[in-house]
Every structure is written in C-alpha cells, then in structure tokens.
Structure 1
Amino acid sequence: MLINVADVEAAAERIAGHVIRTPTVPSPGLSAFLGAQVTAKLELLQHTGSFKARGATAKLLSLGEAERAAGVVAVSGGNHGIAVAVMAGALDIKATVVMPRSAPRRAVRIAEAAGANVIVADAMDGAFALAEELRTEGLTLVHPFDDPVVIAAQGTVGLELDEDAGELTDVLVSIGGGGLISGVATALRARRPGVRIWGVETEGARAMSEALAAGGPVPVQLSSIVSTLSAPSASQLTYDHVSALVTEILTVTDAEAVQGTLDLADHAKAWAEPAAGCLVPAARKVLERVGEGARIGLVVCGGNASASDVTAWAERFGLS
C-alpha cells in the first residue's frame, strides 16, 4: 500500500524540532552552467549531512518503551548509519550499525563517535543479512528505505520543496533503495500534479532500474564507488511507489557522478557527495528530453564525502 501526502504531513509534525528545514534556493551558477533555471534543495546541510536524519528520527520517535530499551540496528553504506547513530544518541537509544567494508572510513568514525556499535561486513548483502539476524535477536530494525514511516519522513523534503520553491517542471532525486524518491514523489505529486519526477542511479548501483525492468525487486550486482546509493535491491514498497509516481530513471557513470560533485562545488558552491553529484549530468539528459522552458529542482541529498575521497576519485577517472 502506498503512503499518501497526509502520512508525509504527519511525519513533518513528528520530526519538527528534531531536524532542520534546509534551504531551498535558486542557483544562478548552476542555471548558467546548465542553461535552465535551477533550484537546489540543500539536504547536505541537514543534521548528519544528509536527508537520512529525517527518516531515522521518525522511526526512532515511533518506538515504544520496550523497543527503545532493547535498542536498534541499521544497515548502511554510510549516511543512514551516521543518521541512526547520531539521532539515536540524541534520543538515548542504543544503536548498532552494520556497514560494508566499502563504506567510507569517515562514516564509520562518525557513527562510532556518536556511541553506536559499528560492525563491518564484507559486502552490502552480507551487511543486510547480519542486520536481519540481529533483528531476530530483539533489536528493532531501522531500515534505510523499506519502511512506510521512514519513507513518509523522507517525503518531508518534498513538502518543503513544494512550499519554498517557485515554479518547477522537473525534479531530480537520487536513488539507492528508493526511500527518498518514494516520499518526495508522494508529496510533490499531491501538491504539484504536473511536475515530472526523475530518479537518478549510477551504472554500478541500478537496483530500481533493474526492478522496473523485471516487474519487481531483484538482487543486483554492485560495482559503483557510490556506496550511499548501493542498495542490493529495491523493496516491494519502494518499487510500488516509483513505478506509480516517477517519470523515468536515468543512469550516469561513476565518473559522471564525480564530475557532477566537482561541478556542484564550482557552480553551486556546494560541497556534495557523488550521490548528489550524479544529479548534474542527469539534469543535462532531462533538458535534452524536455527542451526549452524547463525549471529544474535538484534534491542535493548529502555532503558526506571527504576532500581526499573526491580527489582520489577524480584522479582515478582523469577528471579536473
């Protein structure tokens, strides 16, 4: 069953005071760079550096006393784990975070510093399996995307974008497991029925594209450097939302995502991660499809990439 805009509005009330209403601003630099009017929703300025704080907070606030006492477990390529660790610490809830070995070391350090017990698994599918094992032992799973409470809270990004942005024809949202785009599309389709919603994936993390091609979630092989988008599969819940509400999924290469990160720094003056950088090359593809007169909204989902990480990726792909 799909969530609705009333669920998103209720989530907004629940998490108010715990999260930041991040800026929604026109970007003259990106507008000139892309040749179309661009508005950026700066979720990289959210608590913990990404939109993930919204869903984590909503889920943690929904727990009963026994669940809070037992603690929670989360699996993450970086941002969700940081969000659960930090927000659980703020709410005095014990958290365990399982991350794949590919997760940024910085994410592991931040989660540990927030008081979480961090366990590193060899790969993302193993991380999900271990988190499920811990759930059966009594911890409450705070899933990064397969949870209507989490999706509704991520959708508050869309509510704020609707309320704070001017006219938009097209909104671009990055996809890992699909929780953010499911919530944003729910909110925007209700508030602005004519807006087109575009999802963006990297070639080595195509969980939603593969699900749409197969008619439902399927396991995918992950090879992207963008760990924060590297879900081993979509869920039925996110697949149902995306298939009903999203215009199209666009795919970019890892190199294009890293170049987009550099372009955001140069033209938007925003230090983002490749999970957000991928929106810039995808916006060019959207403009090729829709033609003149487009007014683009970009959900700049996170900024948890270190300068050394971005430099290393840029050197690997021969970028400047």
Structure 2
Amino acid sequence: MIGISDVRAAREQIAPHIVRTPTVESPGLTALLGVPVTTKLELLQRTGSFKARGATARLLALDEAERAAGVVAVSGGNHGIALAVMAAALDVKATVVMPRSAPARSIAIVESTGASLRLTDGMGEAFALTERLRDEGLTLVHPFDDPTVIAGQGTVGLELAEDAGALTDVLVSIGGGGLIAGVAAALHAQRPGVRVWGVETEGAEAMSRALAAGGPVPVELSSVVTTLSAPTVSRLTYEHVSALVTEVLVVPDAEAVRGSLELAEHAKLWTEPAAGCLLPAARQVLERVGDGARLGLVVCGGNASVADVMAWAERYGLG
C-alpha cells in the first residue's frame, strides 16, 4: 500500500514535467445532476490524460541499466501515448504494444514520437507480447502494477484534495486500477471523510470481478472503451481498492458514450468514454447517498477523435 509520503515524493519529482491541471466547479454539471459538481480536468494534462504522471514518475526512477535497455509498455491508448511522449522528452528509447482496436488517433500519436510500435490482435495478446519483450531485456513500465506509477497517479488526488471545495463523493474510472488506487490513497490521507467510487464499463469489469472473487481474476473483454480494458487488475491495485474504495459501479458502453456527449454539451468538455462513464455512475451514487452530496469527478482523459465519438453515438442510436 502506498502512503501520502509516496505521493508527495512523486509530486516533487514529476512537477517540472507535468501540468497541475485545473480543479473547477462545473455550473453545467451542477444543473444537470442537481448537486454541486467539481471536475478535475486531467484531459488537459500533457498527452491528454492523467497517464503522463505515472509514466513520468517511473521514467525518472530508472537506473542506468534500465535506461540503457529501453522501456516497454502495454496500452489500450493513453498509457502508450504518455510513455512514448515522456520517454522522448527524457531521451529514453521506448517500445509500446497496443491492440489494433486502440483508437487510431492514439496509434498515430505513438508513431509520431519515434517510439517502436507493436500492434496485436487483442489486449490479452498485447500483455503477452509485452511480457516476452520484458524477458528479452526491456524495462517494463506497467500501466498499473507498479507502486511508483500508482504514486504518480496519486498526485491527481493530492491536487484535488488541496484545490477543491467541500466534497462528499469522488468518482474515478477504473481500467487496471492505478489511478483510483493512487487517488484513493491520497484522499484517504488528506480528506478521510470523502467516499471514493470506482467506475467500469460492461465488458471491462476487471476490478468488480476481482472484488467479487476475493482477488484478481482474468476477464473476457468486450467493451468499446479500450482505455479501460485491462484483462485483469493486479494484486497491488486490488488491495488498494478493497481497502479504500466504497464501491465499484458498472455502466453500459452506451451510457458511457452518452456521458461523453453530455459532458460536451453541459460541461463544454470533449472527453473519451472512459471519462463519460462517470456521469451515469454519478446518477447511481446520488440514488445511494441522497441529498447533500457534493461530487468530484476525475475527468481522466480526452484522447478520442470526433469521428470516434460520433461513430459510437451512431452505433448506440444516440445521434
């Protein structure tokens, strides 16, 4: 389990390289949901998502041998972008493994950095190839099974605790669980009365399945939200979530896409469905906690093209 001292140390290390993103009250979302809503705008982070924080923390922690070997990461989109961009900035050779189903824009950004890009038929195959490349000598920068990465992601929660007004409930999207593990650790230390809720999409339910099973288990992936599609969580992220998170909510893909459209209309934010899923989950939270809630939403990323979102909207009849 990481502690607040780990998160503070990560912030000191990564501060010159990342953006302290805005924490702002949203009048549009407040009107939409009927309770005060504050947003943490990680879609304005360098590389378009919170992932730059954890990737930078891990890259700065490399020893000489690890730097010389080069790094490898597996990603559904945002971790790969973050590692490729930040490795180029820090002069580290990077290899990124992604499924072909990853957003075309994400693939193009990784290629543009000069990183070596390896594409696979699915996320399970991507994780397997990454393991082989690690065995061949590359240094793994895992998207969530790494305390240094989690501490880096936890700086989101540290900033939210310092910058937001009164909050009762904070919602955080879950893929492999690195973001929510770090955010929950930071909030538990800084604002111990605040409830933290995780959000997954149907077909990418690695954490909720782990909680039901008493530990990480492999899951079949079918969600269109590839940036949340981890084939399993890690023991590390599972332990943080089971100890610090109130509940993990699951929403349909269609509702996650609808949430992205609502965020565009009511909050003036262009997000990917990995962030859009927060809105249907927020409605579930309000049904549970009743009046008096003050919500915080970690808007995790915005790396979806107009064409992507419009295609999903048409697929689910949301046009």
- Please tell me the TM-score bracket, short chain as reference: over 0.9
Between 1:102-111 and 1:26-35, the stretch displaced more is 102-111
Give the secondary structure class of the aligned counterpart of 1:155. helix
User: How far apart, in 2, do the equivalents of 1:179 and 1:291 lie?
Assistant: 29
Q: What is the number of residues matched between the two proteins?
A: 319
CA deviations over 1:263-318 (Å, ceiling 9, x no partner): 00000000000000000010001001000110000000000000000000000000
Between 1:63-72 and 1:298-307, the stretch displaced more is 63-72
CA deviations over 1:129-160 (Å, ceiling 9, x no partner): 11111111111000000000000000000000
Give the secondary structure class of the aligned counterpart of 1:249. strand
Counterpart of 1:265 in structure 2 is 264
Counterpart of 1:108 in structure 2 is 107
User: How far apart, in 2, do the equivalents of 1:128 and 1:98 lie?
Assistant: 8
Summarize the alignment of residues 138-177 of structure 1 with structure 2, pairs less than 5 Å apart: 138-177=137-176
Counterpart of 2:316 in structure 1 is 317
CA deviations over 1:200-223 (Å, ceiling 9, x no partner): 000110000000000000000000
Counterpart of 1:224 in structure 2 is 223
Counterpart of 2:25 in structure 1 is 26
**How far did 1:65 drift?**
1.4
Amino acid at match of 1:311: M
User: How far apart, in 2, do the equivalents of 1:265 and 1:300 lie?
Assistant: 12
Give the secondary structure class of the aligned counterpart of 2:313. helix
Amino acid at match of 1:226: V
Give the secondary structure class of the aligned counterpart of 1:118. strand
4+ runs deviating over 6 angstroms: none
Counterpart of 2:199 in structure 1 is 200
User: How far apart, in 1, do the equivalents of 2:169 and 2:113 lie?
Assistant: 37
CA deviations over 1:35-59 (Å, ceiling 9, x no partner): 0000000000000000000000000
User: How far apart, in 2, do the equivalents of 1:107 and 1:202 lie?
Assistant: 20
CA deviations over 1:4-57 (Å, ceiling 9, x no partner): 111001000010110000000000000000000000000000000000000000
CA deviations over 1:73-114 (Å, ceiling 9, x no partner): 000000000000000000010000000111111111100101
Give the secondary structure class of the aligned counterpart of 2:165. coil
TM-score, normalization: structure 1?
A: 0.99
**How far did 1:262 drift?**
0.2
**How far did 1:69 drift?**
1.4
User: How far apart, in 1, do the equivalents of 2:104 and 2:118 lie?
Assistant: 12
Cα-Cα RMSD: 0.5
Q: Is 1:248 matched with 2:247?
A: yes
User: How far apart, in 2, do the equivalents of 1:162 and 1:286 lie?
Assistant: 20
User: How far apart, in 1, do the equivalents of 2:28 and 2:104 lie?
Assistant: 32
Counterpart of 2:88 in structure 1 is 89
TM-score, normalization: structure 2?
A: 0.99
User: How far apart, in 2, do the equivalents of 1:94 and 1:299 lie?
Assistant: 31
Q: Percent identity?
A: 76
Counterpart of 1:134 in structure 2 is 133
Q: Unaligned 5+ residue runs, structure 1? A: none
Q: Is 1:62 matched with 2:61?
A: yes
Give the secondary structure class of the aligned counterpart of 1:74. strand
